[in-house]
Structure 1
Amino acid sequence: MSELTIRKATVSDVPGLETIEQECFETPWSEESLRHDIAENKLATYIVADLEGELIGYIGVWSIADEGHINNVAVLPKYRRMHVGTILLNTMINATEEAGIVSHTLEVRASNEAAQSLYGRFGFKESGRRKGYYEDNGEDAIIMWRMGDPDKITEES
């Protein structure tokens, strides 16, 4: 892969994030929601993967007390299986732990085994299920939690 830069998202990244949303999700977040989170939501942090000026992935988290709720992890389809998701997740966990977050949670589609495997490598464990969570098809969401620092995963994983 060419020059990949991982950095905090800015408002100018919103159009690129919306493009990623459109390509990755059946029910994408709106440009307005993304813009609000990045510009106004003091609890939100977004990190982007920038490949020579093209946004190819991002991760967002809301930090509430000492918990981090990961709301989205997305990588453009043509860049999947190149460790971009691993790099983004590792960067986010390191940054939020340094800021005092001691646990992380997320929801993932029951059918998304690739994402569940990625999260499992970071110590996330299934802790429950939200029946019919996804509006587009009524699919269940698996709730996963990660407590503490189980020997942080590196980019090479």
Structure 2
Amino acid sequence: MNCLIRSIRSDEWPEAKALRLTALQDPVARLAFLETYEEALARPDSYWQERAARAAHDATGAQQIIAQGPDGDWVGTLTVLVEEPGTTDWAGFPVERRQGHIVGVYVLPEYRGIGLTEVLFDDALEWAWHAGVERVRLIVHEDNTRAQRFYGKVGFKPSGRVVPLEKAPGESEFEFVLER
């Protein structure tokens, strides 16, 4: 595979922005992400700088992990957010325990199917467990069966929670969890 897996540095916001914009142009982006390419493109650089700083290698509330290909280009990413008990999540559900939430999973098409996503998940889970979370969760669109199969393959199980999508009435997402 020959990829380096690591957390981002806060000064790497241009690379984080570029990979996110690439991800949002993927044919299944509508099923995988809650924002559009146009929304992300319109955000000022300060947004991307703050986003990178909140998830950089020395951050404690989130971690963005990337895969660098042999040429140094970023070829995959995901982010783990720490959700604290007593708060509510992005969908308005109460957070009942300290948990990790994996978001923004993306691997360039030419790097799919070689085990890279598994390695990214291994690193993300290691970071999350070290951060003291009790479980890790993720949310996946009801029609994104490829992602659902992958999440099951790496140990996640459906929790039974269904999240209706405000931006797409009639559509929903499913929560998958991995207990420690």
C-alpha displacement at 1:112, in angstroms? 1.4
- Larger fraction in strand: 1
Distance 1:8 1:138, change over 3 A: farther
- Which of 49, 56, 59 is equivalent to 1:35? 49
Question: 1:121 Cα shift?
Answer: 1.9
Report the equivalent of 1:129: 162
CA distance 1:34–1:122, change in 2 (3 Å): farther
Mapped partners of 2:23, 2:147: distance in 1: 13
2:114 match: secondary structure: coil
1:119 aligns with 2:151: yes
Residue 33 of structure 1 deviates from its aligned partner by 4.3
After superposing the two structures, state which structure 1 stretch, 33-42 or 69-78, moved more. Answer: 33-42
Aligned residue in 2 for 1:73: 105
Name which of structure 1's ranges 9-18 and 93-102 shifts more when overlaid on structure 2.
9-18
Matched with 1:57 is 76
Gap runs ≥5 in structure 2: 30-35, 85-97
Q: Flag structure 1 segments of 5+ consecutive residues without an equivalent.
A: 149-157
Q: Distance in 1 between matches of 2:168 and 2:14?
A: 23
Name the counterpart of 2:132.
Answer: 100
Question: C-alpha displacement at 1:111, in angstroms?
Answer: 1.5
Pair 1:91–1:40, CA change in 2 (3 A): closer
Query: Normalized against structure 1, the TM-score is what?
Result: 0.79
Determine whether 1:11 maps to 2:10.
Answer: yes
The residue aligned with 1:151 is none
Q: Percent identity?
A: 25
Change (3 A) 1:33 1:73: farther
| Structure 1 contact 107–142 (Cα < 8 Å) conserved | yes
| Cα separation, 1, equivalents of 2:136 and 2:156 | 8
Q: Deviations over 1:2-55 (max 9, x none)?
A: x31001111233222222222323425556544323214641111110113100
Tell me by how many angstroms 1:136 deviates.
6.5
Please identify runs of 4+ aligned residues in structure 1 that moved more than 6 A: none
**Over alpha carbons, which structure has the higher Rg?**
2
Number of aligned positions between the proteins: 146
Equivalent position to 2:173, from 141, 147, 150: 141
Shift of 1:77: 1.9
Letter in 1 for 2:162: R
The answer as to whether partners of 2:12 and 2:52 remain within 8 angstroms in 1 is no
CA separation of 1:32/1:74 partners in 2, compared to 1, >3 Å: closer, same or farther?
farther
